[in-house]
């Protein structure tokens, strides 16, 4: 019995010791064991990496690789061992730029499709970023160069590259560098803009301005907007589904006085009939001005369109404006401005925090010259400007009326 008792107590003591170790060692309490500051890389750190080729390429050199079609980096001698570095010139704090960041060096800029939200929480304006391009894909969307991952292999995909939205791939390719002074916007002239627009082939890849943070001075409002709305965004709405597309164009501003349309604002406008004279359809398939006031069943009259009617389900007998009201989501709006003789669209997202802010009266009604700062992009041969900060941001406004 004595041995048994001793054995039991020994076991109990062993268990007690182990529990105390577990109890006090690994469990972190508030204020304990605060992690160190994260490491930010320097050129020297990158140079010490075993697969670093010895020097960086410029962003212009990267874009120059493009002749036609997407390029999977690291698959040929010309596009292998490719590292670039640039400073961050965009941020998604205002919500107008989303899941991407623009990197700029002295030679140009590139849209890095990093694929995560709230990037401003982790990256700072002006911070240096090193990108190991091997394994990434250089692609284009409507002429605009983008650096992402291999495109999704789906029939409906319209992008040549996809988001790098997997953290392990980001960790392998995108390295945070030192924080630096934010890059000042480059003031460009209409001639600069035309020069970038007018390359006969691949204007997006040959023009040096795309993706850069720029300032356009003296823009004048043109009383015209452009927007593409999807009445039921959950239904197919690509170009093959014109019955679910409504273009707001060619008719002034459609009563839109804000930079974009939040879901709430869009719902209010559809309820007020603001878009009832618009036309459903796109491309060759158009259903006539004012078809927004009709129902899908009324306008889809062809025998082959029964399936398109069915796709609307119970909504097939609701006017389009009511469908738009029911499924209201935030919508982008592009406001046209004149930059000399060249049109520039200032494109804002309905998800941006300034979406429902009115354009200043001095711009809309007085047509006073305005300086606007943003990321310059190209969309099917046309220049677009995306604001990075809010138009009236207290410390860094992107819109300055003269």
Partner 1 sequence: MYKKVLLTIAAAALSFAMSAQDQPTGGVKGTVVNRNGRVPVENARLVLMQGAAQVAQAQSAQDGTFYIPALEDGMYTLVITAPDFLDTQVQVTVNDGYVKNMFFLSVSAIQHTADIDDDAFGSVDFDDSGYNDNPSILFGSNDVFNNIAGFNFSSVRFRSRAYSSESQDVYLAGVKLNDAVTGYGPFSLWSGLNEAMRSKDVTNGLESSDVGFGGYNGVTNIFGTASQMRKGLRGSVLTNSTLYRLRVMASYATGRMDNGWAFAANVSARLGGNDWIDGVYYRSLAYYLAADKVIDDANTVSLVFFGTPGERGAQNSSTQEVYDLMGDNMYNSNWGYQNGKVRNQRVRKTHEPIAFAKWDFTPSDTYSHSVTAMFRFGTNGYTALDWFDAQDPRPDYYRNLPSYFYGAVDGVYQGDLNRNNIVKYDEATWVWQHAADYPELTHLNWDRLYNVNRNQGGRSKYIQSSRHTDQLDFNLAYNFKLNPIRELTLTGGLNARINRTEYFQTVEDLLGGEYFLDVDNFADRDFAATPYKTQNDLDYYLANGTERKLNRGDKYGYDYYAQIRNFGGWINGQYTIGQLSVNAGLRLGYESFWREGLVRKGLFPGQADNAAMQALWDAQGIVATSETSLGKSNVARFFTYAGKLGLNYVIGGNMRVYANVGYFNDAPHFNQVFLSPRTRNSMMGDLKTVKTFASDVNWQYSGNGINVRATAYYTTIKDQSKVMSAYDDIQNAFSNFAISGIDQRHMGFELGFKVPTYFVPNLSVQGVVSIGEAIYTSTPKMVQTVDNSAAFVAYPVNNAGTWESNTTIPLTYWKETFVRDSEGNKQVLQKHYVPSTPQTAMSLGLAWSYNYWFVDADIEYFDRAYLDMSPLYRTDYASTGLDGNTSDQEVIYMTTQEKFRPAILFNASVGKSWYIKRKYQLGFSLSAKNLLNNKKVKTGGYEQTRIVDNTVNAERFYRFDSKYFYMSGFNYMLNVYFRF
1 vs 201, which CB is nearer to partner 1?
Answer: 1
Shortest distance in whole angstroms from residue 66 CB to partner 1 = 20
**Which of these, 379, 399, 375, lies nearest to 388 by C-alpha position?**
375
119 vs 292, which CB is nearer to partner 1?
Answer: 119
Please give the Cα distance from 78 to 81 (Å, whole number). Answer: 9
53 vs 236, which CB is nearer to partner 1?
Answer: 236
Measure CA 166 to chain center.
Answer: 17
DSSP assignment string, 255-275:
T--BSSB-HHHHHHHHHTTTT
| Tokens read off for 341 | 């003789």
Shortest distance in whole angstroms from residue 212 CB to partner 1 = 24
Check: CB of residue 185 under 8 Å from CB of residue 371.
no
Shortest distance in whole angstroms from residue 162 CB to partner 1 = 6
13 vs 49, which CB is nearer to partner 1?
Answer: 13
Shortest distance in whole angstroms from residue 1 CB to partner 1 = 6
Please give the Cα distance from 323 to 224 (Å, whole number). Answer: 25
Query: Does an H or E element contain 86, and which?
Result: strand 83-88
Shortest distance in whole angstroms from residue 17 CB to partner 1 = 9
| Tokens read off for 127 | 């911070």
**Which of these, 335, 359, 385, lies nearest to 90 by C-alpha position?**
385
Please give the Cα distance from 275 to 249 (Å, whole number). Answer: 11
207 vs 319, which CB is nearer to partner 1?
Answer: 319
Range 48-56, long-range pairs (CB < 8 A, 24+ positions): 51/81, 51/132, 51/134, 52/83, 53/81, 53/82, 53/83, 56/83, 56/84, 56/85, 56/130
Query: Does an H or E element contain 149, and which?
Result: strand 144-150
203 vs 236, which CB is nearer to partner 1?
Answer: 236
Shortest distance in whole angstroms from residue 34 CB to partner 1 = 7
59 vs 138, which CB is nearer to partner 1?
Answer: 138
Shortest distance in whole angstroms from residue 222 CB to partner 1 = 24
Shortest distance in whole angstroms from residue 23 CB to partner 1 = 5
In the block, tokens 């494109």 appear at 347
204 vs 296, which CB is nearer to partner 1?
Answer: 296
In the block, tokens 């692609």 appear at 139
């Amino acid at each position: 019995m004595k041995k048994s008792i001793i054995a039991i107590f020994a076991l109990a003591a062993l268990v007690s010791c182990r529990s105390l170790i577990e109890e006090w060692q690994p469990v972190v309490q508030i204020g304990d064991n605060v992690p160190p500051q994260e490491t930010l890389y320097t050129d020297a750190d990158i140079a010490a990496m075993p697969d670093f080729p010895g020097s960086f390429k410029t962003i212009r050199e990267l874009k120059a690789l493009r002749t036609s079609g997407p390029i999977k980096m690291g698959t040929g001698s010309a596009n292998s061992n490719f590292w670039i570095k640039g400073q961050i010139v965009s941020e998604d704090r205002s919500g107008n730029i989303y899941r991407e960041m623009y990197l700029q060096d002295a030679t140009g800029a590139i849209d890095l499709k990093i694929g995560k939200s709230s990037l401003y929480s982790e990256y700072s304006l002006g911070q240096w970023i090193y990108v190991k391009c091997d394994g990434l894909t250089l692609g284009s969307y409507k002429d605009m160069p983008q650096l992402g991952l291999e495109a999704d292999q789906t029939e409906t995909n319209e992008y040549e590259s996809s988001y790098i939205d997997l953290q392990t791939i980001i960790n392998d390719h995108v390295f945070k560098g030192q924080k630096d002074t934010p890059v000042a916007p480059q003031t460009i002239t209409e001639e600069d803009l035309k020069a970038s627009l007018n390359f006969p082939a691949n204007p997006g890849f040959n023009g040096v301005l795309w993706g850069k943070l720029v300032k356009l001075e003296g823009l004048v409002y043109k009383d015209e907007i452009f927007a593409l709305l999807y009445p039921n965004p959950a239904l197919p709405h690509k170009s093959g589904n014109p019955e679910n597309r409504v273009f707001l164009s060619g008719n002034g501003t459609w009563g839109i006085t804000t930079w974009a349309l939040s879901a709430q604002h869009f719902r209010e406008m559809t309820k007020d009939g603001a878009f009832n004279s618009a036309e459903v359809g796109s491309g060759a398939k158009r259903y006539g001005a004012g078809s927004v006031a009709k129902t899908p069943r009324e306008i889809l009259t062809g025998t082959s369109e029964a399936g398109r009617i069915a796709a609307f389900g119970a909504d097939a007998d609701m006017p389009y404006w009511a469908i738009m009201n029911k499924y209201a989501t935030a919508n982008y709006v592009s406001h046209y401005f004149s930059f000399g003789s060249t049109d520039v669209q200032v494109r804002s997202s309905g998800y941006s925090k300034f979406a429902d802010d009115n354009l200043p009266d001095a711009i809309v009604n007085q047509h006073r010259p305005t300086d606007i700062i943003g990321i310059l992009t190209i969309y099917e041969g046309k220049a677009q400007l995306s604001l990075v900060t809010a138009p009236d941001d207290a410390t860094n406004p992107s819109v300055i009326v003269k």
